[in-house]
Amino acid sequence: MTVNATGKPQRKVAKYSAIALLVVIAGLLLSQVIWLYSGSNQWELEMDQNGLKIYSMKSPGSAMKKFKSEMKVKAKLSAIVKLMEDPDVCDEIGCRDSKVLETVNEQLRYHSFVMDPPFPFRSREFVAKVEFLQDPDSKELLINFIAAPDKVPPSDCCYRVTHMNNTWRFKPLENGELQVEYIVDTDEGGAIPSILLNALRPQFLRDALGKLEGLMKREKYQNAEYSFLKS
């Protein structure tokens, strides 16, 4: 009769490997819980380049950060509204397949567009209610982009985003400029890790907002007029 002398050491290696794997998994889960419930709930500066400031805010209980961008531009409020309505702009700022789904009136529309996250993640489809509101006293323009995932049936092309509550504020200044504030409160959802989305957002905002003033100066936006808008 022969005895397999290697059987016992092999079982020990498998046992210790399993224990090590469980320790790693437990550590990852613990770090995720710690991250989820961390956060100062305060805006913190992440980037300050060429007049563009980008802040992030981590709130306890949320894995996704909110982001706020601030800058100044020289543009007319009517040009901004026309720009925000234009589906062709999407291709120039990192999204695609933008469509106007419904125009309720001058101040309320429904849009959809698609964004492609890094491989191997599935494309994200956004369906948004877009509201244009102006304060009659300060003339400040507020534009809300709010997720409306049930506005149209889901598409097989993409994962439909259900959480988006983004806001643009354009405050007129005395020198003809506008103070711009853009807050991004979006969770693309699905299997994309929040740590990846949080890391990529500042770069995307820098690239997109860096084109904003140049886009607003295009001739097709200059002669737009809206009855609700006072300059």
Q: Are residues 76 and 30 in the same domain?
A: no
The one-letter amino acid code at 217 reads K
Residue 130 has pLDDT above 80, yes or no: yes
For β-strands 124-134 and 159-160, DSSP reports them as parallel
Q: Are residues 73 and 125 in the same domain?
A: yes
Burial 29-58 (b: 16+ CB within 10 A, else e): eeeeeeeeeeeeeeeeebeeeeebebbbbb
Please, what is the end-to-end C-alpha distance for the chain in angstroms?
A: 98
* pLDDT given for residue 34 in this prediction: 59
231 part of a folded domain:
no
CA pair distance 135, 105, nearest whole angstrom: 18
- Three-class secondary structure of residue 51 per DSSP: coil
Q: Are residues 128 and 16 in the same domain?
A: no
Q: Are residues 126 and 14 in the same domain?
A: no
Q: Is the pTM value of this prediction over 0.75?
A: yes
Residue with the bigger pLDDT between 179 and 20: it is: 179
Average pLDDT over the chain, rounded to an integer: 88
Averaged pLDDT for residues 191-199 = 90
Q: Are residues 80 and 120 in the same domain?
A: yes
